Amino acid sequence: MSIAKRLMSWLSAFTLIELLVVVAIIAILAALLLPALIAARERARRSVCANNLNQMGKGLEMYLGQHNDYYPVMPAYGKEPSSWNRALYPAMEHWVDNGWFVDGLLQERVQTIQAGASYRVSHFGILAYGKNEVSAYRGVAGRLQTAPVGLGYLLLGDYMPDPMAFYCPSSRIDWSLLAGRWAVGSRFACTPRDVRFIGGGQASGKGIQYGNYNGMASYKAPGVNYAWSGYDDCALWSPYDYRNQPLTVCGDPPGGAYTSTGVRIQFTVLYTKPALTTLTGEATFKTPRRLQGRMLVCDTITRTKDDATKFRAGLGQYVHQDGYNLLFGDYHVAWYADPEQRVIWQNIPVPRPPPHTQYQDSVDGSDWAHITWYQVWFGMSSFWRVYHTFDMFRDYDVGTTSGWGTAWDSL
C-alpha cells in the first residue's frame, strides 16, 4: 500500500466531530493548567526576589562592619537634602550643602542634593543620583554622572556588585508608569533594560556612574529632548524601598521657627515604642541598635495621592500583587501575604491633619503624596504606617499610633 493511501486511510478514521472534541479537551486541560503554571512561575520569581533581599542583608552587614555600624545614606550625610528651600530660607545656606561627590581621576564632581531635580534624593527607591557641575557633561558616556545613595552604596562600593540583584523579577514597573506619577526626565533609569543600556550592553556599577544616560531618550521619550521638562540630572531607581533614605522637609515649620536643634529639625519617628527621634538629612534608624528587628527593605509599597484621586492602584500592582518580601534588621527575610491588596489600595487620608494649610505640598505644587514632604511636620503616614504594619508582623511597636486618628493608622 502506498504512503498516500495509508495516510488517507488513517485520516478517514476520524470524523470532524471527533477532532473537535479532542481539540476542546486539550483547550480545557490547558485552561486548567495555565493558572497553576503562572502561579508556579510567580513563586519562582518570588524566591529570586527573596534571594535579592538576602544578598542585601549580607551586603549591609559587611558595610556596617566597615563604617562603625552606621547605615548607608548619602554623600551629604547629616545635611538637609532639599536645597530648593534656600530660596525660601537664606539662613539655611550654612547647613544645606550640595553633597558634592568627586572623581579625583577625572577631576569631575556631581551634586547629590537635588535642586529642582527630577526626583527627590530622599525617595525610597533611589540607588544613585547626580548632576555634573558642567552642564555639557550631563548624561554623556565617560563622564561622571551619579554617586551612590542609600542601598546604592552596596552596589557602587562592591559589597553587592551585580545591579540585577536590585530588581525584582516580578516587577513590571517601567519609566512610563513612574513618569505618570512623578516628574522624571528620560535620564531616570529604572529597569534592567535601562541599566544595560547606560552600561553599553553590560550591567555594571561603572556604567551606572559613567554611562550613557542621554541615549535612553531614544526609547523612553522619542522626539522629546533628553532634558525633558528641564530635568537634566541622572538617577537610578530600584523597585525596592529602603527605609533609611535621608529625610527632608517642605514649607514652613510649625510656629514659623526651627527647633532648638539650631541647624536641623528633630522629629519623632512615628509608631516607635519607646519613641525614637531623628534629624533631617539622616537615616530614620541610623544604626542596627536603633533599628533592632524592624523592617528595613521591602518591595515597593508606593501609592500617591494622585493614585487615590484617580482610583488607581499603587505600584505594588506591578510587582507581586498579593504580598511583599521583607528584609528585617536581623537580616531575616520573610513573605508578608496581602491577598486583599490592602497595601496596593492603601488609604490616603484627605484632608491632612492641621496645620496642613501652612505648607506647600511639593516644590512644583503638584501635591505629591510622598512621605518626605510631610513626615517631619505631621507624619504623612501612607509610607510609615505600611512600614509599621510590617514591623508589627514581627511583633515590633505593637499598639502604637500616629496620634492623628484612626484614618491615619489603618490601611
pLDDT digits (tens, 9 = 90+) for 343-388: 998 877 654 444 333 233 333 333 322 333 333 333 344 678 889 9
The phi and psi torsions of 298 (rounded to 5 degrees) equal: -155, 165
pTM: 0.81
* 95 pLDDT more than 90: no
The answer to whether 75 and 101 have CB atoms below 8 angstroms apart is yes
Give me the residues paired with residue 266 across strands.
Answer: 279
CA distance 398 to 407: 17
CA of 215: how far to CAs of 25, 59, 185, 198, 221, in Å? 50, 31, 12, 8, 10
Name the pLDDT band for 222 (thresholds 50, 70, 90). Answer: low
Q: How many CB atoms lie within 10 A of CB 314?
A: 23
In the chain, the amino acid numbered 392 is M
pLDDT, residue 99, reads 77
Give 173's Cβ-side CA count (13 Å radius): 28
Residues 247 and 122 sit within 8 Å (Cβ to Cβ): yes
Residue 282 banded pLDDT, cuts 50, 70, 90: confident
Decide: helix, strand or coil at residue 198.
Answer: helix
| pLDDT per residue as tens digits for the range 121-153 | 447 888 998 889 898 999 899 999 999 989 999
With residues binned 3-state (H G I as helix, E B as strand, rest as coil), the percentages for the chain, rounded to 5, are 35, 10, 50
Other CB atoms within a 10 A radius of the CB of residue 1 amount to: 6
Q: 196-205 in b/e burial notation, b at 16+ Cβ within 10 A?
A: bbbbeeebbb
Q: pLDDT for 231-269, tens place per residue? A: 678 889 999 999 998 766 544 443 333 333 334 566 678
Q: Which amino acid is at 362?
A: S
37 residue type, one letter: L
Tell me the pLDDT tens digit for each residue of 10-58.
556 667 787 788 888 888 888 877 777 777 788 899 999 999 999 999 9
C-alpha cell of 173? 514597573
Is the peptide bond between 90 and the residue preceding it cis, with omega within 30 degrees of 0? no
User: Can you tell me the distance from the alpha carbon of 175 to that of 179, in angstroms, rounded to the nearest whole number?
Assistant: 6
Tally of helices (H runs) and strands (E runs) in the chain: 11, 12
Q: Under DSSP, is residue 130 helix (H, G, I), strand (E, B) or coil?
A: strand
What is the Cα–Cα distance from 207 to 199, expressed in whole angstroms?
A: 4
Residues 6+ apart with CB under 8 A from 259: 253, 265, 266
Residue 137 CA to residue 211 CA, distance in Å, equals 11
